[in-house]
Structure 1
């Protein structure tokens, strides 16, 4: 009704919330393209993305974000409306709507009209834009298709052993930026696929409040980047340093038993296994509960490799961190670890429907990691030259990362091509 054109963008500028999810799904149903914008972006950075993606509708969280858009609106020829979903509108402006009045605009649109738009969409059409950080130039809009999103949500999450709601009710905490593909695919699209309960953290989650939310929710699955896991480790170490002598000794004893068991799971004696279970019951289970992980069966890490210290620290808490590897251009995860596919320091194996090969390997087996399969993106918006650079003549997407494969097909990321 506001004139959203096919393959034009609905840009969302705000912290994780139900309104973010509703706006994203509504954009796809209406034949538009979901485009997340980081809340930390400057007005000019917002302008670049909104202009490049031909944003028709902008959904913003609060007055702070609205102020950015008001500064650039007159330079956005495709922008037809702005929707504010948390604060009240400070002053009336043509085509500026509060979320409630915006939703009311659709009351007289028939379900048949909506169904016709949904039915007209094709698997190979773009529905999500993910803008890269732009550290080596202007941000690039990676175009992800319906097939990219639905395939990754369905099959990559199964490697991680995510369960449909009729088998087990999965619950997660949404806190990482949804403008990044990792959080968007994990929180939103996988959440829809399996009927997960999604709890939204406070906006200051990464500044310290995340653990409070985790303790309240006790999720069944949790995903973090290495820095999140490192912060949890540092917080625990600080708490341990301030505790009494006996508590320190008990924790050290319990963690050493757990680490040994997880590193050498098949070689422990019956007596050692008994002490390990006792230590877990008396000490480690209480710590996991204090972290919000008493019900958490799957702990994932992505976006960068974990260091050995972090990996071993959590194994000492009897928490296995399953690593995933991919990029915006592979709809997030292309290789994954999980309860049934796991090796320490490896990011797992390619997801179903996906392949990996190593180009120009050295004597030690290190080569450039290249991707092929259903997760691989359509190309960069308005950047045909950059798209051609990303692929070789056989259609393999080049990552710029170095890796090696073991004899069983597990991938290890070993560095970056200089």
Structure 2
């Protein structure tokens, strides 16, 4: 039973407005908080607003470093007290520039101090913070600003500014544009310094008055889904959604208040980065340092080496890139070094597998390998102080997990959605499983909707982290959140007897063959990638078809913008050489048709995958090698690295149809 709130709550940001509904699609609406009358301490945690959450941390850690950024090769910092003052200054300036309550500030740029200040400044001013993906087109930016009723847009540089200027005439509610890097070339665009100067000239009661009208159960942030099909949905997150989920994750990880350090580099327009970098950090006085904008193009390691974070969150592609680089380095080692490394990896992998199986032991071989050999690797990566490694946004292959375990870097999976404020399940080393997405975070609930004989069905989530609804989209909100408040994820999965949650497919991605059999593509794609480590992406075809086929892209280099290029990775070249069909580029592989030795190797891997198929309909019959890998800039991947299936099908329709002639 949920607590019903009334008007007896105190005036101010920590008030709760009366509401009987669990959902709303109105930007000015409120919802009933899902606080049980009794239960675990984390479930009944007193609700708190974002400003209240922030103030509580400032009271505990006023002089602790909160934010760090680099200027001219020198690290600058804000303490938590200074951080709060800057947020209030930003909020005052936003109000002065015309930010109305429950209207938005859109932020378009790479992670920075200004991104954080804009986000929280919008919330302190009674507005709504909205991150926009930096890869968005001008039209996509316009859509986000229009839907969220943007009064202010904050952009990183002239490149992002041009997108806004292209659509400015179509945004009548837009009152101001601020550019936070470089000097604006347009007289009606404010620099960040001008914004702060405006805020400093205004009285504090300007923001205090807005704070008095904020409520915990109202929307403070919009997160746009990646929009793999049609326009993205605007997920409405309340103060309680964000502060509760961050606290639950903080408690699950048993972080040490005032002692942790993070590096911010994953896109803040995505909910995972916001939940971890802004709110998890705020929960316990964590110091957050910003990587530069080339972090995902190779410079991240420089920041890691300087900052030496205590916790690290990555997406699969980040770990895969580290793996590929380390494979290249290892290939240069002599026989003795390779023998030592092999010995050390064997004992280290076994140590971590023992932990998964509940065996608490530490051999002398593992202790030696960990403290001498792998400590040096961690130092080279800047991860020697890191005690927790996490992967989010998409599945990380079992082979990659095992590799990192073998060098004493156990990576834990987590799973969540924008609609669940970021985190819902999480693995920790004492409760881990190689094939699962972890256990449900304490205080939250998971169930399987309409399970079949094997216990597989749609994964559903419940808890105080479940969003308010989709902005202005009541039908889609009702589709996603049922009358009891359960969020239907669209993911197929199961829960085992130990509480581990597994994803086995996606309902909307199910391939329905011409014979009527439902086939989840992801498990088959992942299985083939495990058999072929030099394959970057495998894409299953078969919807309304007589049989399954698969598209394969080989691992290649990428340019400075993240676009795949012709040149194959050294590891891919070595693999081809070992098969007796050397090639340096994808074009060489495809010229006059792939070499029979390569096609035979791929077919053998497909045969091994097919041996695991539960029916003939789930066996791959044909394959084709693509001329380029998938990427965000070229459109096949969304901002969270999920494959846009319709885009791939349209882009390679000619290749696909040839397999069905």
TM, length-normalised to structure 2:
0.61
Residues 1:80 and 2:175 are matched in the alignment: yes
Gaps of 5+ in 1: none
Aligned in 2, Cα 1:305/1:269: closer, same or farther, shift over 3 Å?
closer
Partner of 1:62: 157
Between the two proteins, the alignment pairs up a number of residues equal to 412
Is 1:368–2:458 an aligned residue pair? yes
Q: Which residue of 1 aligns with 2:528?
A: none
2:229 is equivalent to residue 139 of structure 1: no
**C-alpha distance in 1, partners of 2:353/2:243?**
36
Distance 1:123 1:276 in 2: 49
| Cα distance between partner residues in 1 of 2:358 and 2:159 | 58
Shift of residue 221, structure 1, vs aligned partner: 0.3
Contact in 1 for aligned 2:243/2:279 (Cα 8 Å)? yes
Residue 555 (structure 2) aligns with: none
Name 2:598's counterpart in structure 1: none
Deviation for aligned residue 1:239: 0.8
The answer (yes or no) to whether the contact 2:261–2:309 under 8 Å persists in 1 is yes
User: What is the CA–CA distance in structure 1 between the aligned matches of 2:470 and 2:422, rounded to whole Å?
Assistant: 15
Asked if the contact 1:159/1:337 (under 8 Å) is kept, the reply is no
Match of 1:6 in 2: 101
Matched-pair contact (CA < 8 Å) for 1:15–1:177: yes
Indicate whether 1:162 and 2:252 are aligned: no
Give, in angstroms, the shift of residue 268 of structure 1: 8.4
1:89 to 150, 159, 184: 184
Q: CA deviation at 1:75?
A: 0.6
2:407 matched residue in structure 1: 317
Shifted more, 398-407 versus 154-163: the winner is: 154-163
Corresponding position: 1:119 with 2:209: no
Following TM superposition, by how much is the alpha carbon of 1:339 offset from its aligned partner in structure 2, in angstroms? Answer: 4.2
The C-alpha deviation readout for 1:353-405, integer Å capped at 9, x for no partner, is 31110012122221110011111001111111111111223321111111111
Give distance in 2, aligned partners of 1:333 and 1:340.
18
Within 2, Cα distance between the matches of 1:231 and 1:140?
31
Q: Which residue, out of 311, 321, 343, partners 2:433?
A: 343
Partners of 1:149 and 1:91 in 2: CA distance? 36
Matched, 1:201 2:291: yes
Q: Residue 301 of structure 1 is aligned with which of 376, 380, 391?
A: 391
Aligned partner of 1:280 in structure 2 is 370
Residues 95-150 of structure 1: per-residue CA shift (max 9 Å, x gap): x2111111122234322332231232111110111001111111110000000011
Aligned to 1:173: 263
Q: Secondary structure at the match of 2:423?
A: strand
Which residue of the partner structure matches residue 479 of structure 2? 389
Contact 1:306/1:345 (CA < 8 Å) preserved in 2? no
CA distance in 1, matches of 2:266, 2:456: 32
**2:327 is matched with which residue?**
237
Are 1:224 and 1:301, in contact at CA under 8 Å, matched by a contact in 2? yes
Matched, 1:44 2:158: no
After alignment, is 11-20 or 361-370 more displaced? Answer: 361-370
Please give the alpha-carbon distance, in whole angstroms, between the structure 1 residues aligned to 2:207 and 2:224.
28
Question: What secondary structure sits across from 1:105 in the alignment?
Answer: helix
Unaligned ranges ≥5, structure 2: 1-95, 511-661
How big is each residue's C-alpha offset from its partner over 1:317-360, in whole Å with a ceiling of 9 and x where there is no partner?
11221211111100011111224443332222222331110012
Cα deviation for residue 214 of structure 1 reads 1.1
Please point out which of 423, 434, 457 is paired with 1:333: 423
Per the alignment, do residues 164 and 339 of structure 1 end up closer, same or farther by CA in structure 2, a change over 3 Å counting?
farther
Identify which range, 347-356 or 123-132, moves more after superposition. 347-356
Q: Residue 106 of structure 1 aligns to a residue in which SS? A: helix
Alpha-carbon separation, structure 2, partners of 1:202 and 1:186: 18
Paired with 2:358 and 2:103, the residues of 1 have a C-alpha distance of 59
1:258 aligns with 2:353: no
TM-score for the superposition, normalised by structure 1: 0.95
Q: Does 1:186 align with 2:276?
A: yes
Give the Cα separation in 1 of the matches to 2:103 and 2:340.
Answer: 59
